[in-house]
Amino acid sequence: MNAKKIEPSAQEEDLMENVKTSLDTAEQLLRDAASSTGEKAAELRERALASLRRTREALYDTQDALLDKGRRAARATDDYVRDNPWQAIGMAGIAGLLVGMLISRR
């Protein structure tokens, strides 16, 4: 049985890179704001908050996309099991047998 390594998609990689960049930017802006005073500090804090808002929105968008993917996968699995009940029972039995064998080795 070959274990397939799941590689992140380009969209996921872009999201992670954007989140890291946004968080780094916000962190630097907050550091600069801590050492500044007056109007400059307020401007830096506002820019940091805007950066964090963009990051939050990107994460919510990704969460929605992942939930949608999960729902589609569950729907496809349900359709397959309904169309092929005996094959699904056979696969579940084989999986149970393999898990049982792995557990009994310990």
| pLDDT tens figures, 50-82 | 888 888 888 888 888 888 999 999 999 999 999
Query: Tokens 């996968």 sit at which residue?
Result: 73
User: Across residues 13-22, what is the average pLDDT?
Assistant: 78
Give the per-residue pLDDT at 3. 45
DSSP per residue over 9-30, as a string? PHHHHHHHHHHHHHHHHHHHHH
Give the per-residue pLDDT at 1. 40
SS3 3: coil
Q: Helix 10-35 to helix 38-83 angle, to the nearest 10 degrees?
A: 160
- Answer whether residue 5 shows pLDDT above 70: no
Give the per-residue pLDDT at 56. 83
Domain boundaries, the chain: 10-105
Give the per-residue pLDDT at 93. 94
